Structure 1
Amino acid sequence: MRRPDPGRRTLPAVNSPRIVATDLDGTLLTSDRTVSPRTRDALRLARAAGAVIVFVTARPPRAVREIAEQAGVTGTAICSNGAIVYDLDTDEIIESLPLDPGAARRAARALAEALPGVGLAVETGRGVLAEAAYTRRVPEDMPFYREVVSVLEEAEPFVKLLAHSPAHTADEMIAAVPATVKGLAEITQSGDGGLVEISAPGVTKAAALDRVCRAHGVPAGEVVAFGDMPNDLAVLTYAGLGYAMANAHETVLASVPRRTLSNDEHGVAAVLERLYG
């Protein structure tokens, strides 16, 4: 099967985009969750041409800063699916958009009824509060976990409600959420098995990216974006140039006409080299 040509443009495109917006897991990072030397060089090439690099990720701030150091990236990062705008240089959260507790309770009840045994956790921006039934554990995140009886009874504001079911896929879980609940929150997935992520209404990666672009005086047509999962789809359609990774979720591949190579084939680098080389 012929590999996609990362430089082939089937739609009108911009030259030398002023902002490079990229997802991390499954996109910029290889499967071992590192930034390859080729990708690091390509990011350096884009910066030398005057482009601003913006990470747009489901990860919380604490899981982004080390990657930014690997990649040689500074400035602003969009974290937690757009609920947080984070300053990589000062380690400060610039903007935080919490989820309404009432909407979170309704979503949690709906998931519990549709998917018995589902485990819940919440992301606060600086840590994770998890119920005992939430068995998903990210090793590097363990110092930031705190087990609680009920995440929805905690007073601490949170930016994401996390629902995990080892017995279901994320697609199955999202399909099980009633339409009435979907109207109260943004519900998406970023690719980790049976994990669904719930944010406040209107909180998406694309909405946060639009605010960052406006702050830089850059229109959407001068953005190149990369992603692989449904939570990236709004960003890929927002940008003047949106590229789906070859390893992307089927929904993304069906919706985004531009393709690049997979994350393990340095697909982001392949496009940046052509755009800025």
Structure 2
Amino acid sequence: MRLVASDMDGTIVGHDGKISPRTVEAFQRCLDAGVEVVFVTGRPPRWLDPLREQLGHRGTVICSNGAVTYNLNDEQVLSAHLLEHSNILAAREIILDLYPAAAFAAETVTGFHIEHGFAEEGAVELLAGAVAMPLADSLGGHDVIKFLAREREVQPDNFLNRVRPAVAHLVTATHSAPSVALLEMSMPGINKSVTLAKFAASRGISQADVVAFGDMPNDVQMLNWAGTGYAMASGHPEAIAAADQQAPAFEDDGVAQILEKRLAALRASL
């Protein structure tokens, strides 16, 4: 184990935005043992406060399901895979044909653009700093890293399973919200595993030496790619099926439990 790659929400971060002290300590022990740590999340760069404030992480974060590699220390985008505006608008029309009540948003390198109906009035985290207007008008010259679609009257898996094949020629679609029908779409061919593989190679770390943790469909490719992929026992069935190992549930500090055991084994082998 030379590199630990972990998802955030539902894997180490709870609904309250908190990371447990045990998990914080486990990641610190990895660093103390010379094991590199990278976080691989669906979150955009603007939404990484738990890593900064609770873990004191200042390194690289792979954001927006692999679309962005971000340096948290310098708050700089190191690389970005951008969606074509024409693909976004074409995907939007296809989704509206399937789900006329769908609402849309676009995450850019520098901000968030939402259409009417995408977020509830009380959704502070979604609405803070957002530009609210039709996407065709608001995108302009902005570089889009993630396109989102929301539907309130359908189950999340059903939404994904119907939309994904219809837009596959335009975007890569996935989801990471267990109870909200919210699709996350990136440039075709981009997912967490693609960017994680490049990051590991840049550090001279082989695939076999990567241990990954995740819990949702947007983690599937990463769990498949890593030398050892752990799905959370509390995770989505697709993630559990994709991983070769299972970690205890999030509520039981599953990531910390696995890291503690692997670090103990690492020490015993020295």
Task: Please confirm whether the aligned pair reaches a TM-score higher than 0.5, indicating the same fold.
Answer: yes
Q: Secondary structure of the residue that 2:78 maps to in structure 1?
A: strand
Deviation per residue, 1:160-187 (Å, 9 max, x gap) = 1100011112211122226352122110
1:50 equivalent in alignment to 2:34: yes
Deviation at 1:149, TM superposition (A): 2.3
Residue number in structure 1 paired with 2:69: 85
Deviation per residue, 1:87-132 (Å, 9 max, x gap) = 0110111111111112112211111010111000000033210011
Residue number in structure 2 paired with 1:7: none
Residue number in structure 1 paired with 2:45: 61
1:199 to 186, 206, 213: 186
1:116 equivalent in alignment to 2:100: yes
Residue number in structure 1 paired with 2:150: 164
1:217 equivalent in alignment to 2:204: yes
| Larger RCO, structures 1/2 (Cα 8 Å, 6+ apart) | 1
Q: Percent identity?
A: 33
Q: Secondary structure of the residue that 1:122 maps to in structure 2?
A: strand
Deviation at 1:189, TM superposition (A): 0.3
Q: How do residues 234-253 of structure 1 correspond to structure 2 at under 5 angstroms?
A: 234-253=221-240
2:128 partner amino acid: P
**C-alpha separation in 1, matches of 2:98 and 2:87:** 17
Deviation at 1:138, TM superposition (A): 4.1
Q: TM-score, normalised by structure 2?
A: 0.92
2:129 to 124, 144, 147: 144
Deviation at 1:150, TM superposition (A): 2.8
**C-alpha separation in 2, matches of 1:130 and 1:116:** 17
Give the 3 Å change call, closer, same or farther, for CA 80–151 of structure 1 in structure 2.
farther
Deviation at 1:151, TM superposition (A): 4.5
Residue number in structure 1 paired with 2:244: 257
**C-alpha separation in 1, matches of 2:114 and 2:125:** 15
**C-alpha separation in 2, matches of 1:246 and 1:138:** 29
Q: CA RMSD in A?
A: 1.6
2:92 partner amino acid: A
Deviation at 1:66, TM superposition (A): 3.9
Tell me which stretches of 4 or more aligned residues in structure 1 moved more than 3 Å. Answer: none
Residue number in structure 1 paired with 2:171: 185
Q: Secondary structure of the residue that 2:25 maps to in structure 1?
A: helix
Give the 3 Å change call, closer, same or farther, for CA 87–176 of structure 1 in structure 2.
same
Residue number in structure 1 paired with 2:268: none
Does the 8 Å contact 1:31/1:264 carry over to 2? no
> Where does structure 1 lack aligned partners over 5 or more consecutive residues?
1-16
Does the 8 Å contact 2:164/2:174 carry over to 1? no
**C-alpha separation in 2, matches of 1:18 and 1:143:** 38
Deviation at 1:153, TM superposition (A): 5.5
Q: TM-score, normalised by structure 1?
A: 0.89
> Where does structure 2 lack aligned partners over 5 or more consecutive residues?
265-270
Residue number in structure 1 paired with 2:217: 230
Does the 8 Å contact 1:122/1:151 carry over to 2? no
1:26 equivalent in alignment to 2:6: no
1:146 partner amino acid: V
Moved more, 97-106 or 53-62: 97-106
Deviation at 1:251, TM superposition (A): 1.2
Give the 3 Å change call, closer, same or farther, for CA 151–25 of structure 1 in structure 2.
farther
**C-alpha separation in 2, matches of 1:38 and 1:243:** 18
Residue number in structure 1 paired with 2:255: 268
1:175 equivalent in alignment to 2:161: yes
Does the 8 Å contact 1:206/1:238 carry over to 2? yes
Q: How many residues align?
A: 261
